[in-house]
Structure 1
Amino acid sequence: MTDSPRERLAAVRRDAIERLASLEAQLDDIAEARRGANSDDEHDPEGSTLAFDRAQAAVLAADSRHVIEEVDAAVGRLDAGTYGVCERCGRPIGAARLELRPTARLCVTCQAQAERRSG
């Protein structure tokens, strides 16, 4: 890929903003459906309820907001000249990792250590 980190980050941010707008519209639709329904359980018993749909959309919207925050933080690192430097060990984050995960804060080794500790 030949895009610069700033271009990759901008694309990720645009996608997250579009996803968030869609999810917020979905949440509005669910809220409107709840106002018009006597009960959330009037759905097909095999289908999902409005409460489940709302919870799922809310979690996905929160994830999109988190992605936007991570992109903004990565742009801040770009501006500060620390983008691509592991926040834990100070070594460079590999180009392949940054291409796949442009908001990465840790190198692969430090990320694996962090996941082992939390897992």
Structure 2
Amino acid sequence: MENSRLSTATLEHFRAVLEEQRAELLQQRANHEVSLAEVRVARDGESDDEHDPEGPTIASEWSRLTGLQEEAARQLTVLDKALARVDDGSFGICARCGKPIGRARLDARPAAELCIDCARLAEKR
């Protein structure tokens, strides 16, 4: 695999972007956990929310929050892999074809591991 053609400054820029996104995700997960704790308390109580026309049911809120937690965990894995690529020098190189990933793509999707052409091919499958 080719070494990254990105400059040290560019790599550090993307490391900062990825770390910022990671910190935001961790904060979101913490907020979701607080909300899940509130739902657990409501679920364990005697609340009859199934007939409350004013808002979502406990079950639907539980489902929504656990879905958000699962997506945040998936995104954290993606970000951690991108940070590992920064560390090992493979960041900015397509994992499929070995060609550089365009700067515009990295700006739009800093954790991208495929160039736009390989991403399009993967989408078609």
TM-score, scaled to structure 2: 0.85
Give unmatched runs, 5+ long, in structure 2.
1-9
Partner of 1:93: 101
Q: Hey, what's the Cα distance between the residues in 2 that align with 1:112 and 1:97?
A: 12
C-alpha displacement of 1:71? 1.0
- Which secondary structure does the structure 2 equivalent of 1:89 belong to? coil
C-alpha displacement of 1:40? 4.4
Partner of 2:85: 77
Q: Which structure would you say has the larger RCO, counting Cα contacts within 8 Å and 6 or more residues apart?
A: 2
Q: Hey, what's the Cα distance between the residues in 1 that align with 2:34 and 2:51?
A: 22
Q: Is the 8 A contact 1:40 1:51 kept in 2?
A: no
Partner of 1:18: 27
Which deviations, in whole Å up to 9, do the C-alpha atoms of 1:18-57 show, x marking residues without a partner?
Answer: 111111111111111111135441322x632111111011
Q: Is the 8 A contact 1:86 1:106 kept in 2?
A: yes
Which deviations, in whole Å up to 9, do the C-alpha atoms of 1:66-93 show, x marking residues without a partner?
Answer: 1111111111111110001111111111
Q: Hey, what's the Cα distance between the residues in 2 that align with 1:29 and 1:97?
A: 39
Q: Hey, what's the Cα distance between the residues in 1 that align with 2:27 and 2:75?
A: 12
C-alpha displacement of 1:100? 1.5
Tell me the C-alpha RMSD between the 2 structures.
Answer: 1.6
Deviating 4+ runs (over 3 angstroms)? none
C-alpha displacement of 1:116? 1.0
Q: Hey, what's the Cα distance between the residues in 1 that align with 2:71 and 2:46?
A: 28
Matched ranges for 1:9-48 at <5 A: 9-44=18-53, 47-48=55-56
TM-score, scaled to structure 1: 0.89
